[in-house]
Amino acid sequence: MNKIPEMSLEVKDVLDTYPVIIQNKLLFLRELIIEISIEENIKDLKEELKWGDLSYLCKNGSTIRIAYNKNKKDEYGIYFNCKTKLVKTFRILFLDLFTFEDNRAIKFQINEKIALKELKYCILLALTYHKRKHLLMLDIE
């Protein structure tokens, strides 16, 4: 398996502005996104900053952002394009497992244990969204 690529100085500079515990949480989400892209042979995944947040995009996927809300010190999240049916689908599948923000995010508390298998599936659906968007319920497995 390929290794996790180094991040750009620009991305690292943004992470460095966050508390260490939040840096670690966002780095964990970053690794999940990259690992899933490697497992799924997504070769064009790009990491960049959008709206000051770490963002991940690829040709057949919908942009994923990971972010910390400085106004809510114990909260961070993974954000999806609100014009997609991603979060609507995630709510149907995982309402009891995740906390959602409108139709755009899955939010986490810093001490929360994450349902890893289910979160990985959400990330997979986002990274392959344009191949699935025409399918009922994104053709979930």
pLDDT at 132: 75
In which element (H, E) is residue 19 found? Answer: none
In which element (H, E) is residue 93 found? Answer: helix 86-94
Residue range 91-99: mean pLDDT, rounded: 94
What are the structure tokens assigned to 8, written together?
Answer: 């750009």
Task: Please enumerate in sequence order all residues whose Cβ is within 8 A of that of 35, keeping only pairs 6 or more positions apart, or say none.
Answer: 1, 4
CA–CA gap between residue 44 and residue 52 (Å, rounded):
21
This prediction has a pTM of 0.91
Residue 6 above 90 pLDDT? no
36 CB-contact burial (10 Å; exposed 0-12 / middle 13-18 / buried 19+): buried
CA–CA gap between residue 85 and residue 128 (Å, rounded):
13
Q: Torsion over CA of 79, 46, 25 and 35, rounded to 10 degrees?
A: 110
The sign of the dihedral angle between the CA atoms of 27, 108, 101, 69 is negative
CA–CA gap between residue 112 and residue 129 (Å, rounded):
27
Residue 140 above 90 pLDDT? no
What are the structure tokens assigned to 105, written together?
Answer: 């995010």
Residue 80 above 90 pLDDT? yes
Residue 138 above 80 pLDDT? no
Domains of the chain: 9-127 (3.90.1150.200)
Backbone angles phi, psi at 47, to 5 degrees: -110, 130
Backbone angles phi, psi at 73, to 5 degrees: -55, -30
